[in-house]
Structure 1
Amino acid sequence: MSTTSTEPARRAGWRTETFARLDERLDRVLGATAKEFEKLRVRTVGDLMLHVPRRYFSGTELSDLSQLRVGEEVAVLARVLRTDVHQGHGGRSARGGMNSRLTSVISDDHGRLELTFFGKPQVMDYWRRQLTPGARGIFAGKVGEFRGTRQLTHPDFVILGDHGEIVGGAKRNAVLAEVTRQPLIGLYPATAKLRTWTIAQSVGLALDQLAGLPDPLPAAVRRQARVIGLEQAYRAVHQPQSKDEIDGGRERLRFDEAFALQLTMARRRADAKAHGAIPRVRRDGGLLAAFDARLPFTLTAGQVEVSEQLMSELARPQPMQRLLQGEVGSGKTIVALRAMLAVVDAGGQAALLAPTEVLATQHYQTVLKLLGDLAGGGLLAGAGPSTDVVLLTGSMPVAQKRAVKLKAAAGEAGIVIGTHALLGEGVQFADLGLVVVDEQHRFGVEQRAALSAKAAAQPHVLVMTATPIPRSVAMTVFGDLEVSTLKEVPAGRADVGTVVVDAKNHPGWVERAWQRVIEEVGAGRQAYVVCARISSQPKRKSTDAYAEDLDTDPGGEDIEPAAAAVDVYAELSGGPLKDLRVDLLHGQLSSEEKDAAMSRFASGETDVLVATTVVEVGVDVPNASMMVILDADRFGISQLHQLRGRIGRGGHPGVCLLLTKTAAGTTARDRLDAVASTRDGFVLADVDLEQRREGDVLGASQSGGRSSLRLLRVLDDADLIAEAREIAEACVAADPELIDPGLSDIVTHVERQAAGDWLERT
C-alpha cells in the first residue's frame, strides 16, 4: 500500500530546531497583535518571515502612484504639492462645533493622490503646517475614489527629513522612528488595522526570536544552489542594508519554496517506485480487443501513442504515475477507458474518481454507451468478454450504495465510477489495479492517495485534466507524475466562434443573443445558457477569490450580484424564449433531478438548458451548438475554455457569446478578449497564469483556493524550479529514506501543509 498519505505521521514525533522555532504560533511572540495577521494568512513565525515587503524605498525615493488601485490598502512615499483648508464643511463634530475639511494633493511625478481630513479648525491648522508644499512623507490608508479622483481619507502619515528621518506627522512614535532609520524602508502588504510599520515592528521582534537559527539545508545543497544562509536571508529581505542584500535574500527564499516542493515530489516518486505494483499485461482476445473492434471511429495518432505508453507502464512491476492532459475534446476518456479495460482483462479492477455527481454520472453513461453489451456483467477475467460497470455517489439511496459496494468488494464490478463517495471507509475492492482521477485540479494528492490506499498492492495511477498546464506548473504541482499530452482533436469536430458582448452599453445586443438562440433551435440545434450562481441574494460584501482579477471588488465593497440561474430560467422561459423548451440544471438539485435534466437535454427533449458550471466538464451533447455565458467576467479563463468545449462536439459549427458589463481595458475584459481570440487551451493556460499568477492554478483551483506559494512564481521561476528539481532528485538518490534531519523535516513540513489545506477544503 502507498505510504504517501502516512508520511507526515511517520515523522511527526520529532522536528528539527529550525522548524520548531519557525512553527511557533505568532501569538506567543506578538501577543494580541497576532490576531490582526490572520487576515493575511500569517499564523506562525515562519509565515511572518515569508510575508515580505512588496517594495522598498530609500529616504529620497518616491512611490509610483500610477499603480494604485481603488480599494487597496497602501503605504506610499510622495511629495506634497498643495494643501487647502475648507472651513465649515463636512458636518458637525460630536461637541456641536462645525468641522472643517483639509485636502492635500501628493505626487510622485507620475501620478497624483488626494488626501482628505475632517476635524476641528485647530486640528486642521496642525495638519496644514505638517503638509506644506514640498514636504515628503509616508502616507498609509485605503485608496478610495470621489468624483473620479483617487484619494486617501484620514490616512496615517509621517513627514520625513532629507535623510529619511521622521520630522513630523500624524504618527510620531517609536515604531516609525525605528522603521525609518533603516537604509531601505520596506512597504508590506497590509490591512486597515495592520499598517506597514506595525508589521515591520512585529518582524523585528520575530527576528530577535530567530537569532542563531540553524539552517535546514545541507551545506552542499546551499553551495550547489548558490544561496545564502536562512537567517541571513530573513534579515536581508526584512532589514536590508542594500538592494543587493534584498536580491540575495529573496533568491534564497524562492529556492527554499521550489526545493521543498521538488524534494517532496522526488520523495513521493521514490516511495511509489519502492512499492511494487502488480503488472497488468495487455491480454489478446479480451475486453480491450472486443472494444477496439467495435469502435465506430479511428483513434488519433496522439491517442494511439499515449495508449501504447500507458499499456507499457501498466505491464511493469512498478506503479504507473502519469498525468494525461489534453485539449477539450481531444479524447482523453477513450484513452483512459482502454487502460481500464486492459487492467480488467488482466484480472484487476479500475476506479474512476470524478469531482461532481454530474460528471461522474456523465462518465458512467458514456462508458456504458461505448461498451454496449461488453458492460453486461460477469466475474473478473471470466468466460465472456464483459464486466459490470457501476456508479457510486453520495446522494444515492442507501440500498443502492450497499449493492454497488458489494459488487466492488466481490470483484464483480470491473469498473467503478464515483465521486468523493469512493473515498469512504466502507468502500473496498477485490483487486484495485488502476486509479483514474478526472479533473485532478479539483482534488489534492491526499485524495488520490486515499483511493490508492484501498488497494492491496500499490495501484497504477492515471490522472487526467482538460485544463492545459504549463510546464512550470506541472513540475510544481504534479511533480510526482510523468506527463503525457493530447493536443490533436478528433476529426469531425466543428469550429466554434466566440464573441464578447457588451451587455452594459449595448442592451440591444443581448436581445439579439436571445434571437440567435431561437434561430439555432429553429435549425434543429440546442443551446446552453450558463450563469455564475444558482439563486438570488441581496448585494453582499464579496468574498470572491477572483475579485482582484475581476476588477470588481478589491476592497470588499458592495458589488452587483451576478445573474442567478433560477431567475434567468424564469425570465427566459416566460419571456424571450417562451416558445422554446427551456430546462434548469444546478448543483442544489437532487441527484435524480440532475440526471433527469441532463437526460432530457441529451435526448433532445429540451431546447435550451439554463445551468451553472455543473456543465463545465464531461457533458457531451453533440447536437448542442450554442452557448450564452452571462456575467462571463465572473469566470476564469480555464472555466470559460472548458464551458465553451461543451459545444461544437458534433458536426455543427458552434457560437459562444460572452456577455459582460465590464469596461474595455480592465483585466477582466482582457481575459474575455483572450478567450475569444483563440481556442488553443495551451495558449490560454499561459495567459491565465500570467494574469492570475498561481492563486487559481495551484491547489483547489476552481474552488477559490489560494496558492500556498508566497514568493515563488511558477511562470517567472521555471528555470529555478527545474534546478531545484535536479538538486532534489540527487538528494533523494543519495539519501532515499531522508535520514538527514533537515531534509526530512522539509518534506514533513510540506506534507503537513498539504494535509491541512485538504482538511480546510473538505
Structure 2
Amino acid sequence: MTGRPEVLFPLFGALTKLDGVGPKTAQSFEAAGLTKPRSILFTLPASGIDRHRRASIKEVIAPAVATVEVTVGDHYPPSTRGRPYRVHVNDAGTTFQLVFFHARGDYLQKILPTGQRRVVSGKVEIFDSVAQMVHPDHIVTLQEAEEIPAFEPVYPLHAGITQKLMYRATRSAVGMAKALPEWIDPALKQKESWPDWHDALTAVHNPQAATDLSPHHLARQRLAYDELLAHQLTLAIARANSRRAKGRVSKGNGQLAAQVLAALPYQPTGAQTRAVDEIRDDLAQPYRMNRLLQGDVGAGKTLVAFLALLTVVEAGGQGVMMAPTEILARQHLEGLKPLATSAGVRLEILTGRDKGAERKEKLTALLNGEISILVGTHAVFQKDVAFHDLRLAIIDEQHRFGVAQRMELGAKGAATDVLVMTATPIPRSLALAQYGDMDVSILDEKPPGRTPVQTALVSTSRMDEVVQKLRNAVAEGRQAYWVCPLVEESELVDMTAAEERFKHLRAALGEGVVGLVHGQMPPAEKDAAMARFVAGETKVLVATTVIEVGVNVPNASIMMIERAESFGLAQLHQLRGRVGRGAAASTCLLLYQAPLSETGRRRLEILRETEDGFRISEEDLAMRGAGDVIGTAQSGIPRFLVADLERQSGLMGLAQSDARKLLHDDPKLETSRGNAARTLLWLMEQEVAIRYISVG
C-alpha cells in the first residue's frame, strides 16, 4: 500500500461535499484551518447544552436553558426605535415573553403565528420579575421538534461559522467516515473497554449528557489513543530508522578534551561526566546517535556539547552546533571560543549574515576540513554548505525542531550523529510526546560557582520603589534585565510596551544607562544593543522575551519581570536562569498586577519556593496544559486535536510501548494489524513515516 487507502478518500476530499457547506462557507472553514472533512471530524464538542423537553419553564431555575412547547399569544411590536419586539407565549404551567431586538415584524409573524403551537428552546431569564427568552436558539413546529437534540453539542467556533453549521457539518463528516480495520492491540482494547473507531466518532459527536464530554469518557479515550499511537508510531519508525541507519564509528583519543579540562578553572559535575560518557559510547557505535541532552538552566550543557564535538574532531571528523537565532549562535561562539583555543581547534560561525568573499572562504575551508567545528543558524541547511566529513550535529533549543527537521539534518552528512540540547525541563508525558524517538541524558546538578537566586513578588503599585532600588543597584555597578510583559500575541504591542518602559527608565536612570531589545528590531541593531550590555556599557537591558534563551552576562545579577503573571512557569524559570551566573548574589523580582487570580498566585509562589526546573515543569503542566508549557508557537509537540496530555498523560506511555512492540514484531507493518496501522498513519497525516517504512 503506497498511497492513501481509498477508504479514506472522502475524508480528504472537498469540504463542499459536506451537508450545508457551500463555496463561501468552505472559505470560512479554511480560514479557521479546517481544510477537509477530516479536520471537521476531529473537531470535538467542547461543551453541551441540555435541551431535554420540559412541560414548563418553571422546571428550570433561571438563568438556564429550557425547551418547551408553547401556544403563541399576542405580538407587541416596539413602540419606539431601539425597543425590543415581544411575543407573549404560554407553556403548560406559565406565561412568558419571547424577546427580539432589531427584528422584522413580518418575519416573526410568519414563524410565530398567534394561536399556533411551537417548540422553543433558549435561555430563560427573569427581567423585572418577568420571565423571558431573548432570541430563542430554536423555534420549530411540533413536527420539526424531533430535530432538536436532547443534549446539544457545542463546538469551538471561528468567524463565519455558526453552531448550526458545525452541527450539520460534523454529522455529515461522521456519515462520510467508513468503518476502518482495527489497529489497536485486541487485548488492550478489551482491557480498556474501548469502542470501535467509527462507534467512538459517532458517540463523541452525539453526547447524551455532560459526562460524555470528559476526557475520561471511553469514546474520547479511544480517539485520543489513536492519535497518540499514530504519533508514537512515527517516532518509533524514526528511531528504528536511525538505529538501522549505518553510522560512523567515531572514537576519540581524549587528547583535545584533556587540554580543555585542564584549562578549566573548575571540575565538571558528576552529571556532566556521565552525560559525556553516554554520548561517547553512542559515537563509538556503528549506528547513528539520536540523543537528547536535557539540562536545567545553567547545568552546563555547553561544556558537555563541546566535549562531544571534540570527540569527533579527535576521530578526524567535523561537528556543527546549530542555534535557532543569530543572537544565540553568536552567544555559543563567545562561549566556545576560549574552549576551542585551549584545544587548538578552528571554530567558525556561519549565519545568514555571511556574504560574498567571506562566506566563500568559510565554505571552502569547511569543504577542505580546515574548520573543525561550525556554529550557525539554520543557514547551515542551505544547499551550498558542504562539509569535508560531518559526523556530529548538535541542535540547541530543540523545541523549534520537529522530527521532520531531525530527519532532514541526518541527510546532510552521510551518517551524522545527532545530539539535541534543551534547557526546558519537560514532564515525562510531554518528553515522550516530543522526544519519543530519542535516548535521553539529563543534567540535574548545578556546576560550582552558580549562586542561588533570591526570588520576590512585588505588586506593580510599588513601581516607584522598585525603580529607586534599581537606581541604587546600578550606582553600585550592578547590571539588570527588565523583561516587559507579553501583552498579546502581537509583537507590535509588545514592542510599544517595551519602548514605553525604556523611556520611563531612561528618564529615571539617565541617558546611556538603559538599552532596549525587542523582536521588531533589525538583527544588527539587536546584536549591537546586546553587545553594549555584555560589555557593561549599558547597565539595564529592557527587553521582550528575546533574552529567554542562551544569553550569558555573568555581571547581570538582577532580573525584573514585569506582569510576571502573564508568563508561563517554565518561561519565568528560563528568564530567572539568566541571572545567578556570576559571583554576585542575584535577585529576581516578579512584578505582578493585583489582584492575582488563585492560580496566578500559586504559579508565582512555586517559583519563590524552588529552583528545580523539573518540579516547576510538572506543576506548570498540571496548572496550564501542554501547549502552554512549551509555548505552542515554537513547540515541537504536535498539536493534538483530541488527546489531552494533562488529563490523559497515562495514554502516552501506553502508546509508546505499544508502538515499539508493534514495530519490533512487524517492522514493515505487513500483518493485518500492521496494515491497519498504516491506515491510521494516513488518517493522522503521518505519511512521512509510511515513506520511511516503504524505503526501509
TM-score using structure 2 length = 0.83
Partner SS for 2:379: helix
C-alpha separation in 1, matches of 2:525 and 2:155: 50
Is 1:157 the counterpart of 2:154 in the alignment? no
C-alpha separation in 2, matches of 1:121 and 1:725: 59
C-alpha separation in 2, matches of 1:479 and 1:305: 21
C-alpha separation in 2, matches of 1:34 and 1:668: 40
Letter of the structure 1 residue corresponding to residue 271 of structure 2: G
Distance 1:449 1:706, change over 3 A: closer
> Equivalent pairs: percent with the same residue?
35
Q: Is the 2:322–2:395 contact (alpha carbons within 8 Å) kept by the matching residues of 1?
A: yes
Report how far residue 624 of structure 1 moved. Answer: 0.5
Pick aligned residue for 1:723 from 646, 654, 672:
654
Distance 1:703 1:102, change over 3 A: farther
Pick aligned residue for 2:177 from 185, 194, 210:
210
Is 1:100 the counterpart of 2:53 in the alignment? no
Alignment of 1:245-644 (within 5 A): 247-284=217-254, 286-374=255-343, 386-457=344-415, 459-503=416-460, 506=461, 509-532=462-485, 563-573=496-506, 575-578=507-510, 581-644=513-576
Deviation per residue, 1:612-655 (Å, 9 max, x gap)? 32221111111101122234344332222211111111121212
Partner SS for 1:254: helix
Deviation per residue, 1:296-342 (Å, 9 max, x gap)? 10111111111111111111112111111111111111111111111
Distance 1:297 1:701, change over 3 A: farther
Partner SS for 2:172: helix
Report how far residue 664 of structure 1 moved. Answer: 1.4
C-alpha separation in 2, matches of 1:655 and 1:622: 13
C-alpha separation in 2, matches of 1:178 and 1:403: 77
Partner SS for 1:323: strand
Deviation per residue, 1:23-67 (Å, 9 max, x gap)? 2232332333333333553222222121112234554499xxxxx
Aligned residues: 645
1:234 maps to 201
Deviation per residue, 1:647-688 (Å, 9 max, x gap)? 111121212223343631165565444434432222221233
Report how far residue 259 of structure 1 moved. Answer: 0.5
Deviation per residue, 1:494-524 (Å, 9 max, x gap)? 2222233332xx1xx1112211222222222
Q: Is the 2:399–2:636 contact (alpha carbons within 8 Å) kept by the matching residues of 1?
A: no
1:16 maps to 5
Q: Is the 1:662–1:669 contact (alpha carbons within 8 Å) kept by the matching residues of 2?
A: no
Could you tell me which runs of 5 or more consecutive residues in structure 2 were left unpaired when the two chains were aligned. 55-62, 69-75, 88-97, 125-131, 690-696
Deviation per residue, 1:700-728 (Å, 9 max, x gap)? 73548995201212222222111111211
Deviation per residue, 1:187-246 (Å, 9 max, x gap)? 222346433232122122222222455556576775576532221111111135688987
Deviation per residue, 1:345-401 (Å, 9 max, x gap)? 111111111011111100011000233343xxxxxxxxxxx3211111112333322
C-alpha separation in 2, matches of 1:367 and 1:332: 12
Deviation per residue, 1:121-166 (Å, 9 max, x gap)? 9799999999xxxx994459xxxxxxxxxxx99755237xxxxxx6
Distance 1:754 1:516, change over 3 A: farther
2:127 maps to none
Distance 1:125 1:230, change over 3 A: closer
Partner SS for 2:607: helix
C-alpha separation in 1, matches of 2:647 and 2:380: 38
Q: Is the 1:395–1:591 contact (alpha carbons within 8 Å) kept by the matching residues of 2?
A: no
Is 1:746 the counterpart of 2:680 in the alignment? yes
Q: Is the 2:290–2:418 contact (alpha carbons within 8 Å) kept by the matching residues of 1?
A: yes
Report how far residue 479 of structure 1 moved. Answer: 0.5
1:83 maps to none
Q: Is the 2:123–2:133 contact (alpha carbons within 8 Å) kept by the matching residues of 1?
A: no
Report how far residue 464 of structure 1 moved. Answer: 0.9
C-alpha separation in 2, matches of 1:453 and 1:184: 53
1:377 maps to none
Q: Is the 2:480–2:540 contact (alpha carbons within 8 Å) kept by the matching residues of 1?
A: yes
Q: Is the 1:544–1:704 contact (alpha carbons within 8 Å) kept by the matching residues of 2?
A: no
C-alpha separation in 2, matches of 1:48 and 1:588: 36
Report how far residue 178 of structure 1 moved. Answer: 5.3
Could you tell me which runs of 5 or more consecutive residues in structure 1 were left unpaired when the two chains were aligned. 1-10, 63-74, 81-86, 105-114, 141-151, 160-165, 375-385, 534-538, 546-558, 756-762
Q: Is the 2:495–2:544 contact (alpha carbons within 8 Å) kept by the matching residues of 1?
A: no
Q: Is the 1:22–1:44 contact (alpha carbons within 8 Å) kept by the matching residues of 2?
A: yes
2:59 maps to none
Q: Is the 1:663–1:669 contact (alpha carbons within 8 Å) kept by the matching residues of 2?
A: no
Report how far residue 582 of structure 1 moved. Answer: 2.1
2:41 maps to 49
Distance 1:561 1:292, change over 3 A: closer
Deviation per residue, 1:248-280 (Å, 9 max, x gap)? 321220110111011111111111111121111
1:382 maps to none
Partner SS for 1:417: strand
1:680 maps to 612
Distance 1:321 1:685, change over 3 A: same
Letter of the structure 2 residue corresponding to residue 118 of structure 1: F
Distance 1:630 1:117, change over 3 A: farther
Letter of the structure 2 residue corresponding to residue 743 of structure 1: A
Is 1:189 the counterpart of 2:156 in the alignment? yes
Task: Tell me how large the CA RMSD over aligned residues is.
Answer: 3.8
